[in-house]
Amino acid sequence: MSDFEYRVGLGHDTHRLGPDRPLILGGVRVDYDRGLVGHSDADVLLHAVTDALLGAAALGDIGELFPDTDPANKDLDSRIFLEAALTRVRQLGWEPVNLDCTLFAQRPKLSGYKPTIAQHLAQLLGLPTDCVNIKAKTGEKVGPIGREEAMSADAIVLLRRRSVARD
Ligand code: MG
């Protein structure tokens, strides 16, 4: 009988909204008249998922891996951050089991995008689609989310690996 060990990791991120930027959430282009502002492509969801992966494996955070002072990271596709984190996690023997996320955005309405984003994240993590869940919330028109100044994302991931045999 195989024994597994498990770790959970939590990720959170916020980016400001601004003009003349594409809106990319979970690696998926979302139709909207504004986008998220950041050094990379500012994909708030992928940043939260990347931090959740790193957190579960006790590997620090996305800022340590990809400093926003590094010109090489400017406008970078955030899938590169996720893939780099996943490689490090796998090097320690860990594999994702499932992912749950919440996106916070007053607009646009994200319900129609949730299945596409979930499918894309599942593909990036090598998971079946029924192991990835995306939820979307508005800011109830209050605070920076509700005033459409920013978007946020939360992510939680479970990792497992085979335990080293013990006598
Ligand atoms: Mg970020």
Longest dimension (CA), the chain: 61
| Residues 57 and 97 sit within 8 Å (Cβ to Cβ) | no
pLDDT at residue 32, as a whole number? 97
- Tell how far the Cα of 89 is from the centroid of ligand 1, in angstroms: 19
pLDDT at residue 165, as a whole number? 67
- Tell how far the Cα of 161 is from the centroid of ligand 1, in angstroms: 28
- Tell how far the Cα of 13 is from the centroid of ligand 1, in angstroms: 5
Q: Which two tokens stand for residue 53?
A: 């992966």
| Residues 93 and 59 sit within 8 Å (Cβ to Cβ) | no
**Which residues make Cβ contacts (< 8 Å) with residue 151, sequence separation at least 6?**
14, 15, 17, 25, 36, 44, 103, 104, 105, 145
Which residues of the chain fall short of a pLDDT of 50?
Answer: none
- Tell how far the Cα of 69 is from the centroid of ligand 1, in angstroms: 13
Helical (H) or strand (E) element with 83: helix 79-91
- Side by side, the strands of the sheet bearing 4-18 are 35-37, 4-18, 150-162, 95-104, 132-137
- Tell how far the Cα of 162 is from the centroid of ligand 1, in angstroms: 32
- Tell how far the Cα of 38 is from the centroid of ligand 1, in angstroms: 7
- Tell how far the Cα of 61 is from the centroid of ligand 1, in angstroms: 11
- Tell how far the Cα of 115 is from the centroid of ligand 1, in angstroms: 22
- Tell how far the Cα of 2 is from the centroid of ligand 1, in angstroms: 37
- Tell how far the Cα of 165 is from the centroid of ligand 1, in angstroms: 39
pLDDT at residue 71, as a whole number? 83
- Tell how far the Cα of 46 is from the centroid of ligand 1, in angstroms: 8
Q: Which two tokens stand for residue 115?
A: 């299945």
| Residues 27 and 12 sit within 8 Å (Cβ to Cβ) | no
Nearest to 113 by CA among 48, 34, 26: 26
- Tell how far the Cα of 34 is from the centroid of ligand 1, in angstroms: 17
Report long-range pairs for 15-23 (Cβ below 8 Å, ≥24 apart).
15/42, 15/44, 15/47, 15/150, 15/151, 16/149, 16/150, 17/148, 17/149, 17/150, 17/151, 23/108
CB neighbourhood size of 138 (10 A): 15
pTM of the complete model: 0.95
